[in-house]
Amino acid sequence: MSYEYDRLRVEIEDGVAFATIENPPINVMTSALFGDLSGFAQQVAGDDAVRAVVLRSDDPDFFIAHFDVEAILEFPIDRPAKRAKAAADNPFHAMCETYRTMPKATIAEIGGRVGGGGSELAASCDMRFGALGKTVINQPEVAIGILPGGSGTQRLPRLLGRGRALEVILGCDDLDAETAERWGYLNRALPAQELRPFVTRLARRIAGFPAGAIAEAKASALSAEPPFDDGLIEEGFRFQGLVRTPEAQRLMRAFMDHGGQTREGEMRLAELCTELDER
């Protein structure tokens, strides 16, 4: 099977699909990158030759910055928000659910910063590994007047517990790798030079086992989780409602004006989130 994408470099080795995100300068999840990640998820989910999937980035500072705020500002807001009939009606939710439910092991190798929709994608994977002193998690949405609308309000409480999830969601502050491991966001936080070798070895180890056993074990583990659909529908409705508010429109523009989606601004994202009302 051929994997050709503009912003993903995909290599299949020993039953593992290594997908390297390449959307410079800081791997913002633009609509184009989202399309590649979504298309890859659908394609690899049906590839019998693949038993494990690894998402990674070669940018030492960024895994995925967050979803493109400029794209959110282009969302149509001339009509009232509507509650979806099914979670799959939301394309971003559908993509995340594909990574969560596909009959393969899905692993996020987070070597740098991850925020917003990138964090929500990582949280949808089966496992997440980070680098001490390099990996930083941030959900900046509340600071710009919206909420994590790509499944974060549903996945983070299940990973971290309600109190810690709300600290991340409402605080819009950086979560370092050591704390993220202790709280359950990361499976392990490793020295930076050990991250890629460890993830590569684990993915290849998993892919060496019977495909049917991998799929059935994952399906059984998924059956232990409460359903996501109702929560995702509610999150999507509330996200769409907030996007339509004048405050969110103003704050998202202020975010861009203050250096959002630039390398300098994103390296100090936690501080930037506190400056949006300063004029």
Q: Per-residue pLDDT tens for 188-212?
A: 999 999 999 999 999 999 999 999 9
List the structure tokens of 149.
């609308």
Helices (H), the chain: 31-45, 69-73, 91-101, 116-124, 152-160, 162-171, 177-183, 192-207, 211-222, 229-243, 246-257, 263-266, 269-272
* Contact present, 170 and 176 (Cβ < 8 Å): no
Sign of the alpha-carbon dihedral angle for 75, 76, 77, 83: negative
The pTM assigned to this predicted structure is 0.97
- Judge whether 197 lies within some domain: no
How many folded domains does the chain comprise?
A: 1
Query: Does residue 257 surpass a pLDDT of 50?
Result: yes
- Judge whether 13 lies within some domain: yes
**How far does CA 201 lie from the centroid of its chain?**
23
Query: Does residue 279 surpass a pLDDT of 50?
Result: no
Which CATH number goes with the domain that contains 167?
A: 3.90.226.10
List the structure tokens of 226.
């409460």
Query: Does residue 277 surpass a pLDDT of 90?
Result: no
* Contact present, 116 and 65 (Cβ < 8 Å): yes
The answer for residues whose C-beta is within 8 angstroms of residue 150's C-beta and 6 or more apart is 67, 92, 93, 96, 116, 117, 120, 121
* Contact present, 119 and 138 (Cβ < 8 Å): yes
- Judge whether 216 lies within some domain: no
Query: Does residue 213 surpass a pLDDT of 70?
Result: yes
Domain containing residue 38: 8-192+227-272
- Judge whether 3 lies within some domain: no
DSSP 3-state assignment of 189?
strand
The answer for residues whose C-beta is within 8 angstroms of residue 201's C-beta and 6 or more apart is none
- Judge whether 248 lies within some domain: yes
Read out DSSP for 79-138? S-----SSGGGSHHHHHHHHHHHSSSEEEEEE-SEEEHHHHHHHHHSSEEEEETTT-EEE
Cβ neighbours of 47 (radius 10 Å): 16
Query: Does residue 220 surpass a pLDDT of 60?
Result: yes
| 119 vs 123: CA distance, rounded Å | 6
- Judge whether 210 lies within some domain: no
pLDDT of res. 278: 58
Q: What is the pLDDT of residues 120-138, one digit of tens each?
A: 999 999 999 999 999 999 9
Q: What is the pLDDT of residues 57-95, one digit of tens each?
A: 999 999 999 999 999 999 999 999 999 999 999 999 999
- Judge whether 221 lies within some domain: no
- Judge whether 222 lies within some domain: no
Q: State percent of the chain over pLDDT 70.
A: 99
Q: Would you place residue 1 in the very low, low, confident or very high pLDDT band (cuts 50, 70, 90)? A: confident
Query: Does residue 50 surpass a pLDDT of 80?
Result: yes
Q: What is the pLDDT of residues 230-256, one digit of tens each?
A: 999 999 999 999 999 999 999 999 999
